[in-house]
Amino acid sequence: MVHINNRFLDLPGSYLFSEVARRVSHYVSQHEGERVIRLGIGDVTQPLTPAVIEALHKAVDEMGCADTFRGYGPEQGYEFLREAIVENDYRRRGIEIAPDEVFVSDGAKSDTGNIGDILGLDNRVAVTDPVYPVYVDSNVMAGRAGTYLGDGRWSNIIYLPCTAENDFVPALPAERPDVIYLCYPNNPTGTVLTREQLKMWVDYALCNDTLILFDSAYEAFIRQDDIPHSIYEIEGARQVAIEFRSFSKTAGFTGLRCGYTVVPHEVCARDEKGAKVPLGSLWNRRQCTKFNGAPYIVQRAAQAVFSEQGAKETRSLTDYYMRNAALIRTKLQTAGLQVYGGENAPYIWVKAPGEISSWCFFDRLLSECNIVGTPGSGFGAAGEGYLRLTAFGSYEDTLEAVERIENWKL
């Protein structure tokens, strides 16, 4: 008989979203005619913008004509898109990234999940807690996580709690990790790191020979000037950091699929003999072997995000969600709730009132306000006692949701 990768059995089932769905559908079946507003899932609701649609149509037509048809493209992405990324996402912010340091893909989930392919299994991994589950689960599958301890924790992973007590800024670890995942602006807490706070991590990585895997999928939602959009805004980061970006939340590409990973030439790790090996060449080899490039039409659509018109439209798209975020933030505060995030990110992290648990708060919000959130404990032990609301709903739904909460007897 064929053997499975046993580590898949070690993974607890994807309990969070299935349990949310189960409770919501049970509630809905018992309360016909009541309108439930879903501010739980992290998917966007607004359509692709006209500039993106126009580029898609044009690219589709090219695919139907022998002269302009494109088959397999470069695994790393088309030059036109890599150049546009380098120019718009980096050079305009004073950061020099070479086009061959950019690897276009079908999204940041794939890349953050796959990056472990090029790293040894004996590396010690650190994550913030709460955390985007992909970082942990992909390391479980690879065999780096150790044994499951319950409560979302693994014996070999270093957890850095982020709570109101430390302003959601992870403290430097007591034990040295080889690899640390940082996601800022953060999912699920919606909080950010200032330049100084991020510099602390880059300096730590430089001193301790630690690799930072920096997920900046939400950089387009930053509204304050002093918050870094890229880790490469910090001096020395080119030596220690790989950055992941996505068009999903920025431009509504969750269904279209496009993201990219930046691996600067300087980022290295050691082989068994202690010799330095550039990680960019390994990632290139990995992608060329297991990935055949993002679709041509999708890369044209992504390029359109950077056109003058596309950039304007994309900005109003993120403004739309940030208006929701501000509304949720202020109205919940007025209602007497403790809220975090939502100023530079499309997530609002709400403290459950009166020391009740995340799931208890979830149930009350569902049954008393007909609003669906996501229990914070599902993102890690340190998320207990919090609940995540997203700003990705429509304005009308968000407005109605916050009015219900305002009138709620907590």
Ligand X SMILES: *Cc1c(COP(=O)(O)O)cnc(C)c1O
**Residue 246 touches ligand X, criterion: CB under 6 A:** yes
**Residue 318 touches ligand X, criterion: CB under 6 A:** no
**Residue 392 touches ligand X, criterion: CB under 6 A:** no
Phi-psi region of 264 (alpha: psi -120 to 50; beta: other; left: phi over 0): beta
Which of 107, 133, 293, 393 touches ligand X (CB under 6 A)? 107
Using alpha carbons only, give the angle 340, 243, 133 rounded to the nearest 5 degrees.
55
- DSSP type of residue 148: E
Range in contact with ligand X (rule: CB under 6 A) among 10-18, 101-109, 200-208, 399-407: 101-109
Q: What backbone torsions phi and psi does residue 42 show, to the nearest 5 degrees?
A: -95, 30
**Residue 114 touches ligand X, criterion: CB under 6 A:** no
Q: How many residues bind ligand X (CB under 6 A)?
A: 14
Of 108 and 205, the one with the shorter C-beta distance to ligand X is 108
Measured between alpha carbons, how far apart are the two ends of the chain, in Å?
A: 57
Of 114 and 370, the one with the shorter C-beta distance to ligand X is 114
Nearest-approach distance from CB 83 to ligand X, in angstroms? 21
**Residue 327 touches ligand X, criterion: CB under 6 A:** no
- Binding track, positions 29-58, relative to ligand X; x by CB under 6 A: -------------x----------------
In terms of Cβ atoms closer than 10 Å to its own Cβ (0-12, 13-18, 19+), residue 23 is middle
Nearest-approach distance from CB 367 to ligand X, in angstroms? 28
Dihedral of alpha carbons 52, 55, 56, 57, sign: positive
Which of 88, 123, 239, 254 touches ligand X (CB under 6 A)? 254
Nearest-approach distance from CB 42 to ligand X, in angstroms? 5
**Residue 344 touches ligand X, criterion: CB under 6 A:** no
Q: Is residue 358 within 8 Å of 388, Cβ to Cβ?
A: no
Nearest-approach distance from CB 247 to ligand X, in angstroms? 7
In single-letter form, the type of residue at position 343 comes to E
Which of 109, 199, 300, 388 touches ligand X (CB under 6 A)? 109
**Residue 187 touches ligand X, criterion: CB under 6 A:** yes
Range in contact with ligand X (rule: CB under 6 A) among 118-126, 138-146, 166-174, 241-249: 241-249
**Residue 132 touches ligand X, criterion: CB under 6 A:** yes
**Residue 191 touches ligand X, criterion: CB under 6 A:** no
Which of 82, 144, 229, 249 touches ligand X (CB under 6 A)? 249
Closest by Cα among 140, 134, 80, 88 to 107: 134
**Residue 300 touches ligand X, criterion: CB under 6 A:** no
Range in contact with ligand X (rule: CB under 6 A) among 33-41, 104-112, 262-270, 358-366: 104-112
Burial annotation 65-103 (CB, 10 A radius, 16+ → b, else e): eeeeeeeebebbbbeebbbbbbebbbeeeebebebebbb
Of 37 and 251, the one with the shorter C-beta distance to ligand X is 251
Nearest-approach distance from CB 216 to ligand X, in angstroms? 9
Q: How far apart are CA 402 and CA 32, in angstroms?
A: 22
**Residue 210 touches ligand X, criterion: CB under 6 A:** no
Cβ of 406: how many Cβ atoms within 10 Å? Answer: 13
**Residue 241 touches ligand X, criterion: CB under 6 A:** no
Residue 54, CA distances (Å) to 82, 145, 298, 304, 306 in order = 20, 45, 12, 9, 13
**Residue 388 touches ligand X, criterion: CB under 6 A:** no
Closest by Cα among 163, 159, 224, 220 to 195: 224
Cβ of 327: how many Cβ atoms within 10 Å? Answer: 19
Range in contact with ligand X (rule: CB under 6 A) among 29-37, 60-68, 248-256, 371-379: 248-256
Please compute Rg for the chain using Cα positions.
22
Torsion of CA 374, 378, 384, 390, to 10 degrees: -30
In terms of Cβ atoms closer than 10 Å to its own Cβ (0-12, 13-18, 19+), residue 273 is exposed
**Residue 127 touches ligand X, criterion: CB under 6 A:** no
Dihedral of alpha carbons 158, 163, 169, 172, sign: negative
* Closest-approach residue to ligand X (CB): 107
Of 40 and 370, the one with the shorter C-beta distance to ligand X is 40
Where along the sequence are the contacts to ligand X (CB under 6 A)? 42, 107-109, 132, 183, 187, 215, 217, 246, 248-249, 254, 259
